[in-house]
Structure formats: C-alpha cells, structure tokens
Structure 1
Amino acid sequence: MTVARAARSWLDLREPADARSRSTELLDHLRALLPDDGLLEVHDLGCGTGSMRRWLGPQLSGPQRWIEYDRDAELLDRHATDSTTSLDGIELSVQTRSFDLTELVEADLTGAALITASALLDMLAADELEHLVSTCASAGCPCLITLSVVGHVEFFPPDPLDVAFEKAFNHHQRRMMPHGRLLGPDAATAAADLLERAGMTVVTRPSPWRLGPADGPMLAEWFEGWLEAACEQDLTLRDAAGPYALKRHAQLDDGLLRATIHHHDLLAWHP
C-alpha cells in the first residue's frame, strides 16, 4: 500500500486541530442515520493513535465497540491503555487490527454499523481508493470520512511565493509511487464520485484547519513539512525557500502568522 506511516508525535500534535475542524453538521446528519439502541460497532480505517474514536465516541450515546485498523503496530500500542466513554458515560470497547487496507474485504467489516476514516484518502492511489470504496459500500452502513486535503492553503499575511509553493506541494501530493500515482488533493472528489456510483447518498462539508498563534508548535511543524515537500518536488524553489522560511518563522515567533489549510469531510449512506 502507498500509505506512508505517520509519526506519532505529529498525530498527537494535530489532534486538537482535527477535533475542532471536523464538521459538526455532518455529525448531526450521522446521528439520525445510526440505530437508536443496541451496540454500535464502528470500524475505523487507518486509525493512527485512535483520535477519531476520542473525538466521535464521546459525542454518540450508548454502548460502542470500535474496531480500529492500522498497519503500524507501534501506533496501535497506545490503544491498550486509552479509555474513552460515550456521551452517556459508557466505556467504549476497543479492538485493534494490524492491517494493510489494500487487503480489506467485505467480510472484515461484518457487523459494522459505521465506517470511519480520517486524513487517509489523499495517501491512496486510484486503484486503492476504488478498492476501499467498493469494500466499504458493500458493507451497507454509513461512512464518515473526515479531513481530506483539497489542495488549498491561505496564509495571513499573504506572500507572493505562497502560490508557487502550494502548486509544488500539490504536485508532490500527486507523485508517482511504486503502486501508482497518489490522488492527493483529488481524492476527496474521487471518493465522493465512487460512493455515488455505488448507490450511496453523499454529503460533503468543508473542515479547514484554522491555525494561529495558539497553535504555534503545530503550525511550525506543518509549515516545515509543507515547504520541504514543495522543494523536493520543484528544485527551482530551493533558493527562495530559505528567505521565505525565515520570514514565516519570524512571523510565527511574533504571533503574526495564521494559516487556513482546507479539507473536506464526507458522509455517505445508502438511501
């Protein structure tokens, strides 16, 4: 699979921003689609450290069993000591599966009342996404897929070089890998189209990160990764990258830098 392993430190750093950015409107739609009683079984794909459960579980009532998939066993280690409770105070049951999602089949999702994923789709190639969507659609339950990047960043204050670095970063997101070209910022639209073709109703909503002085460590980490990827993709930007980075870090240190990193959330269900 072409999905890169995410560093645990980065996942921890971004979790608060993820939590406040996900669409609450889609959450309201989702509640109306879920069963009113009984055990709710949630299958979380590419779960990382379990941040989706920690965000969503406490906003849903009743007993819940979370089946969490990630191919990185080290990330799954955290789940053994991580306790989460539902909206009405019931402790969630958690099972983990060390799993490559390219090998996911419909039988793996038996019992699922909800399938979730977060910050996953952009790291897939087209055939991987098609396989994943087909498998999830066959499960017959709603799918909530959050925080898919859409390829647009807004800085304040703006800089004339922002557009060039954004363009290079987006090309990097679409780079060729051994198993195919990554979809990057095209993945959210591609997933919505595939789910609709599978007969599901699809609703999308924006879920941007809005980062400012209070998010200094995360903003700095994100900016460095964004800039590095852009320069890796377009070598002609390297001379400009040094002064550009110094300027942005000075703004960050002075509490002047803000960035909006656009994402989309998606909810799909069978009518």
Structure 2
Amino acid sequence: MSQASGTGASGADDDGQRGVGASVVAGAGPVGRPGERATVRLRHDEPEEAPRYAPEWLTLREGADATARAQDLLDPLRIRLANLPGHTGALAVHDLGCGTGSMGRWLAPRLDGPQHWVLHDRDPYLLHFAAVGSPRSAADGSSVTVETRRGDVARLTPDALAGASLVTASALLDVLTREEVVTLVDACAGAGCPALLTLSVAGRVELSPADPLDAEIADAFNAHQRRAGLLGPDAVTVACEAFAARGAAVRVHPSPWRLGPAESALTEQWLRGWVGAAVEQRPALRDRAERYLRDRLAACAAGELRAVVHHSDLLALPRPTGGAS
C-alpha cells in the first residue's frame, strides 16, 4: 500500500521537539486529520481526498522493508510461477496499493523472465513516483514494463485481475477491514493467481533498553490499529483463513524490522507515529507518553536504542490447475 506513512506533523514540546498530538496511522509518520481512516480509497463515487501518504516516509522505510521481507517465500513462489498453466509471454504482476513502487523494486529483480507490472494506487502522485522508479530488468536480464491504474484496492474483482500471474502488496492488509480483506482474497482466488502480501503488522514490538511503559504504549497502538473495524494485527490471520477457505495453500513467515543506530532516522519517525497513535487512542497516556517519547528519541539520537518491529509476510498459492505444481 502507500505504506503506513504520514504527511507531516503538528504540535511541539516545550523543548522544540514535535509532540505526540498529531494524528497517525499504521505505525508510521503522522498524518493530517485526527480520526482519519487509513485505507486505500479509490471509489470513483466518493469525493476526491487529499493524498495521505508521503513519499518521504515511503522512501525512508524502503531499505528496512527490503531487508525484512521473507526471502524464504521466494522459492515456492518461483516454482509456482514457472508452472503457471497456459502461461506464455511476460508475467503479469499486479501490485496493490503500490505507493512509490518499493515492492516492484525489490521483487522484479528477484524473478526471472519478462514481467509486466500493473501498479494500483489511489494517489496519482505516488503512482508517478512508482512508474518513474520502477526496475527495467528481471533477474535474468529480461525486460520489465509497467503501467499504472488508479482504483479502489478494497473493491477488486477477478475481472480487474484478469490475466494476472501474481498479486503483490506491501503493508496493506492491516489497514483493511475484514470485508475488504475477503474482497481482496476473492479477487485473487477468482483470478487463480498466487498472492505475496508482505509486511503486515504483527502487533509486537521489542525495544532495548526496555522501559516500563513499552507494553502500555504497544497495547494502545494495537487498539488504534483495530479502530473502526480495521484488522490491524489480526489481518494476517483473517487473510490466511480466507485464502484457505478457498482452497489455497498458505505460508506465513516473519518479516521484522530490526532497527539500530544505522536506521536512526527511520526509528525516530516510527517512534513518533507509534507513540502518537497510542495517545490518539488513549489520551490519558499523553503526559507519560511525552516523557517517554523524549527519552526514547534521546536514546535513538545517541545510538543507544534498538527496536524490533514485527511484521508477517504471507504467500497464498491457489489450488493447482492444469498440471501446475
């Protein structure tokens, strides 16, 4: 998706640092309006909305995302793609909620053969970044081409994925509702193609050194993730059950961010979003959270803070047909 990000921040502490009052989504940077729903919305019968995801945040997290994604899922994916029934020509890869295109930059060079990527997002600004920054060659030097489509990823139909060889998404499932995940799964199952859905939040964070407030912030953040019917940390379980009910074989692997001194810029922005979401969900935390955030940011700046932010990657392989294995 326009991966769990933010467009700015508001408020300031007495010492000049940004506070925890900004509205935030999905464990990332702050966004514009309190209570705004963090899901890709491209229904053409709804009013146009301002962009919600900043390319700066997506760029900042891209390296950590690339390192975190589960390499163990690539071999079974390659085997299935090599045995797609009736496949000729380029692989058709649909990247849902593509953001600035980081999934394509990571995956296309790891797959052999010509590929045609169809990039879906609600935001034409991000689609432009994704198209311009898309890779041009596959692992074996074959060509990679790209097209962009604006649309509502929560209302996909099998027709929208007609001819798809693979569906991908990154940091998308956890900002969807159960109904939207089932719609997405139905579309993938109807198209009969594998789905690689990466970097869904798992609801667990490990910080070192530990602080007594860690668990309370994490619990409030997870509640924020589940607001208004969003699935948050439950998304992978719901998606697994939905894919399995449609006959797909499902594999899940951990894909944690491991953030240390070399990732301090990302850690800082992640902390602001993580704590800000917790306070938005439970305003009574504000005073303690301000102190907590100041201390955590100071430790981050000093190179003394490490964080493991847990995510999960999911690979769904539809029931083989036509001799596929």
TM-score range, shorter chain: over 0.9
Q: Quick one: which amino acid aligns to residue 43 of structure 1?
A: H
Q: 1:27 aligns with which of 48, 71, 74?
A: 74
The alpha carbon displacement at 1:235 in A equals: 1.1
Distance 1:117 1:266 in 2: 10
State the shift of 1:141 in Å: 1.0
Match of 2:62 among 2, 15, 27: 15
Task: Specify the code of the residue in structure 1 equivalent to 2:313.
Answer: D
Q: TM-score, normalised by structure 1?
A: 0.95
**Residue correspondence of structure 1 range 255-266 to structure 2 within 5 A:** 255-266=303-314
For the 8 Å contact 1:42–1:66, the answer to whether it is kept is yes
Deviation at 1:91, TM superposition (A): 3.1
Work out whether 1:41 is the aligned partner of 2:92. yes
1:125-162 deviation per Cα after TM superposition (whole angstroms, max 9, x unaligned): 11111111111111101111100101010000111100
Question: Aligned residue pairs: how many?
Answer: 267
For 1:108, give the aligned amino acid: A
1:247 aligns with 2:295: yes
Aligned partner letter, 2:156? L
CA RMSD of aligned residues (A): 1.3
Do 2:93 and 2:165's aligned partners in 1 also have CA atoms closer than 8 Å? yes
Q: Residue 227 of structure 1: CA displacement?
A: 0.4
- What is the rounded CA distance, in whole Å, between the counterparts of 1:171 and 1:101 in structure 2? 24
Opposite residue 26 of structure 1, the aligned amino acid is L
Gaps in structure 2 of 5+ consecutive residues: 1-36, 41-51, 320-325
Cα separation, 2, equivalents of 1:12 and 1:233: 27
Rounded Cα–Cα distance in structure 1 between residues aligned with 2:154 and 2:290:
39
Aligned match for 2:230, one of 155, 178, 182: 182
Separation in structure 1 between the aligned mates of residue 157 and residue 301 of structure 2, nearest angstrom? 48
How far apart are 1:6 and its partner, in Å?
Answer: 2.1
**Amino acid of the structure 2 residue aligned with 1:89:** G
Return the letter of the residue paired with 1:234: R
Q: Is the 8 A contact 1:79 1:94 kept in 2?
A: no
**In the alignment, residue 97 of structure 1 is paired with which amino acid?**
R
- The structure that is helix-richer by fraction is 1
The answer on whether the counterparts of 1:2 and 1:125 sit within 8 Å (CA) in structure 2 is no
Q: How far off its partner does 1:270 sit? A: 1.8
Partner residue of 2:123 out of 72, 80, 83: 72
Q: Using the alignment, how far apart are the partners of 1:244 and 1:79 within structure 2? A: 36
Q: Specify the alignment match of 2:109 in structure 1.
A: 58
Please say if 1:221 is aligned against 2:273: no
State the 1:82 CA deviation.
2.2
Q: 1:112 aligns with which of 164, 167, 176?
A: 164
Alpha-carbon distance in structure 2 between the residues aligned to 1:243 and 1:200: 47
Q: Output the amino acid matched with 1:58.
A: P
User: Match of 1:146, SS?
Assistant: strand
Please list every run of at least 4 consecutive aligned residues from structure 1 whose deviation after the TM superposition is greater than 4 angstroms: none
- For 2:119 and 2:125, locate their aligned partners in 1 and report how far apart those are by CA, in whole Å: 13
The amino acid of 2:280's aligned partner reads: E
Q: Structure 1 residue 207 and structure 2 residue 255: aligned?
A: yes
Cα deviation for residue 83 of structure 1 reads 4.2
Change (3 A) 1:52 1:131: same
Cα separation, partners in 2 of 1:83 and 1:190, compared to 1, 3 Å = closer
In the alignment, the residues of structure 2 paired with residue 238 and residue 2 of structure 1 have an alpha-carbon distance, to the nearest angstrom, of 22
1:78-227 equivalences under 5 Å are 78-84=129-135, 85-176=137-228, 181-227=229-275
- Deviation digits for residues 48-98 of structure 1, max 9, x if unmatched? 111110000000111000011001111001134224121122331001001
SS at match of 2:241: helix
- % of aligned pairs identical? 51
1:233 to 281, 289, 292: 281
Asked if the contact 2:279–2:289 (Cα under 8 Å) also holds between the matched residues in 1, the reply is yes
SS at structure 1 position matched to 2:202: strand
Q: TM-score, normalised by structure 2?
A: 0.80
Range 33-42 or range 193-202, more displaced: 33-42
Question: Can you list the C-alpha shifts for 1:8-60, whole angstroms capped at 9, x where unaligned?
Answer: 11111000000010000001111111126731110111111111100000001
How far is 1:236 from its partner? 1.2
Tell me, in whole angstroms, the C-alpha distance in 1 between the residues paired with 2:106 and 2:301. Answer: 30
